[in-house]
Structure 1
Amino acid sequence: MKLDPYSLPFYTDDFLIDVMDIEKWPTFLYHYTSINTLALILKNQTIRFNRLDKVNDPEEAISKDLQNSNTTQFVSCWTANQRESIPLWNMYTKMKGVRIGMPTDMFEGRPTPDIYDHGGAMIHLNEAYNIERKASKLPDQLKAMQRLISPEKIPSNGSKSSENKPSVRLTGISLPFSVWSSIVIGPNPVFYSDEERYHHPNILFDAGDPYNDGIQHVGISPIDLGSIKGEHWKFEQEWRFKISMFGIGETFPLDEIGKARLDLLKYPVITEYIDVDLDEGVFDQMEVTLAPSTTMSEQIIIESLLHRFAPKAVLKRSELNVM
């Protein structure tokens, strides 16, 4: 496999400051959603990260050099705009849902975002979450690994009760194509552009032969994936949390196992979403705004949900008067 030398992703701190005019990160974000989703967030105390090929823009996170790269990224989409948005109300709630407001340190344990040179903000979760891939036809090396580890010991995705979860801050392979990650990239602003050079980046690079054993290593830089959308999405003013199946700057040998890891067609990602635990205390700071066309019966349902699961949350009526 011919690979280019490593080059910096475009989504760097300089890019955020000089091109996107981002001077500081928000401490509070908003998410437009349905009443059903609000109920699930409150009851399960989780927020869902959806795989990028399952969201509303099919052109997102498609790289030039890794087919199906958009299946390796999982996102939770928010906005920092305090003003209500009619397009967002209409697109995500049909004017009948809610707008949830939460602080950015919403995840279990309240870890605060760290700001890095490349990729903006990043959060180290207290839990590791599983991303699975289909591995029905494993290379011989992977079959040998699989026999050494019992599949029954793999905890279910997002489970709080399992005693077999790996230690925190772990990103790596615990089983063939079963990847654990406790890193959330974000919250970071989405960059809006129609320029081709941003939309389909190269994410693989030549990591050389670090052990002088004649085996080429490949590196992955997934920062740019899921960081850009077309100009027609600019109305969203989106800030995004992202979980990547590949570690930032991760390198590994381009041997039989390495080539299999990069083959997302033969060994596709089968996890479609990740439910990440929220901190119980964050619901005391939660804001819920009723959609402009909320009926009295819908308001009663929302009030009942908050009374049961988030009694200290603030409930607001929409400032918009929409027929």
Structure 2
Amino acid sequence: MNQCTDFLYHYTSIETLALILSNRTFRLNSLDQMDDLQEKETSDIKNIGQFCYISSWTDDETESIPMWKMYSSLDSGVRIKLKANPFKLFENTPESIKEVSVLPVTDESNGVYLKSIIPIADMMKKGYICPAAMSNNILHKVEYTSDPSKLYPKLVTYEGDKFSISLGTLGIHKNIHWEFQHEWRYILQFYPVNINQDPNILPTSVQIMANKILHGLEKQPFPFYDLQLDDVAFSEMEITLSPKISAGYRLIVNSLIEKYNPSALIHNSSLLGLI
């Protein structure tokens, strides 16, 4: 997280709210599905944005009419408030990894296990890797710019006949025309490489994947990923109803909260009766 913020806000539909509440998850979508068509582009690799997954939030506590209209609805939407970094941390115990590993697993950790927001066992079972999941630094404040070198970053570095690809700057910059969003993003990179194999073979698999990405031949492992919410963060959720919400939609939101998250708070919009 490149700056400090305590709470963030997310405008969405009541249908999406129902899925968030019932599954206790938040969805990250890849950059090639964003409304800003510049998002997926770089100066040197075609459509590499498909490997970068984000969830968009804002730090603007004041309700925004454009945000209601673009990402929710004035009469049938909600704005969710959650603490920053609300995702569950999983302990990657030898037992959990042993269940899916093709290689023997030993326990030399003395009971201290690496924690991650995505279980390593899930990566091994489904054949992908997400290095940033092991970090507590997936939240980034978007920088708005008109600098082409930032909007279309160069990701490939060559050293002789070898090369490396870094997605570290992807998804962090947006055109100044989007500055009204005051956006923060959770950003993860997912790569389609199977880490559940002989360590002697893995480097070759990684190199093959990198070559396919470089030439635009590799495909994303999945179009989205749902991150599990931490129980405490989930219970402290606050929901603002859209400014023109109908009695029926208000009843639906109340019913959803009563069933799935009774400790969550519901607020009327500060724009109620004004638009």
- If the length of structure 1 is used for normalisation, what is the TM-score? 0.66
Alignment partner for residue 266 of structure 1, among 202, 213, 217? 217
Instruction: Give the deviation of 1:277 after TM superposition.
Output: 0.7
Tell whether the 8 Å contact from 1:34 to 1:97 is kept in structure 2 after alignment: yes
1:122-133 pair list within 5 angstroms: none
Higher mean alpha-carbon deviation, 270-279 vs 33-42, is at: 270-279
Whole-Å separation in 1 of the counterparts to 2:91 and 2:167: 22
Secondary structure at 1:319 match in 2: coil
Measure how far apart 1:126 and its partner are: 5.3
2:139 aligns with one of 187, 191, 194: 187
Matched residue, 2:200:
none
**What is residue 63 of structure 2 aligned with on the other side?**
84
Q: Residue 61 of structure 1: CA displacement?
A: 3.8
Change (3 A) 1:281 1:256: closer
Helix, strand or coil at the partner of 2:82: strand
Does the 8 Å CA contact 2:29/2:55 hold for their aligned counterparts? yes
Q: By how many angstroms is 1:53 displaced?
A: 0.5
How much does 1:193 deviate?
1.3
1:99 aligns with 2:65: no
- C-alpha separation between the residues in 2 aligned to 1:182 and 1:168? 12
Q: What is the deviation of 1:205?
A: 1.1
In structure 2, the residue matched to 1:243 is: 188
Match of 1:228 in 2: 173
Who is 1:282 aligned against?
A: 233
Cα contact 2:131–2:189 (8 A) shared by 1: no
Unaligned runs of 5+ in 2: 103-113, 192-202
Distance between the aligned counterparts of 1:267 and 1:322, measured in 2? 50
Determine the C-alpha separation between the residues in 2 that align with 1:48 and 1:189.
18
Q: 2: CA distance between counterparts of 1:244 and 1:313? A: 31
4+ residue segments displaced more than 3 Å: 163-171, 252-256, 258-261
Report what 2:267 is aligned to: 316
Contact 2:128–2:221, Cα closer than 8 Å, also in 1: no
Q: 1:293 to 1:197 in 2, by over 3 A?
A: same
Partner of 1:304, secondary structure, is: helix
Quickly say closer, same or farther: Cα 1:304–1:187, change in 2 above 3 A: same
Residue equivalent to 2:156:
204
Secondary structure in structure 1 of the residue aligned to 2:258: helix
SS of aligned partner of 2:63: coil
CA RMSD of aligned residues (A): 3.1
Q: Aligned pair in 2 of structure 1 residues 266, 92: CA closer, same or farther (>3 Å)?
A: same
- Within the candidate set 43, 49, 58, 1:64 is matched to 43
Residue type at the aligned position of 1:232: H
Q: Give yes or no for contact 1:31–1:77 (8 Å, CA) kept in 2.
A: yes
What is the letter of the counterpart of residue 55 of structure 2? S
Q: What letter is aligned with 2:164?
A: G
Aligned position for 1:164: 100
Deviation, 1:206, is: 2.6
Shift of 1:238: 0.3
CA separation in 1, counterparts of 2:71 and 2:187? 19
Is the 1:291–1:318 contact (alpha carbons within 8 Å) kept by the matching residues of 2?
yes
Q: 1:258 to 1:105 in 2, by over 3 A?
A: closer
Deviates most, 78-87 or 193-202: 193-202
Aligned to 1:75: 54
Residue 51 of structure 1: how far off its partner (Å): 0.7
Work out the CA distance in 2 between the residues paired with 1:55 and 1:218: 28
CA contact (8 A) 2:54 2:186 kept: yes
Unpaired stretches in structure 1, ≥5 consecutive residues: 1-12, 17-23, 110-124, 128-159, 209-215, 247-251
Task: Tell me, in whole angstroms, the C-alpha distance in 2 between the residues paired with 1:255 and 1:304.
Answer: 48
Counterpart AA for 2:172: S
CA distance in 2, matches of 1:49, 1:308: 25
Alpha-carbon shift at residue 299 of structure 1 (Å):
0.6
> Of the candidates 7, 14, 17, which is equivalent to residue 38 of structure 1?
17
Given that residues 68 and 264 in structure 1 are in contact (C-alpha distance below 8 angstroms), is that contact kept between their aligned partners in structure 2?
Answer: no
Relative to structure 1, is the Cα distance of residues 259 and 35 closer, same or farther in structure 2, using a 3 angstrom cutoff?
closer
Instruction: Give the number of aligned pairs.
Output: 240
TM-score, normalising length: structure 2: 0.77
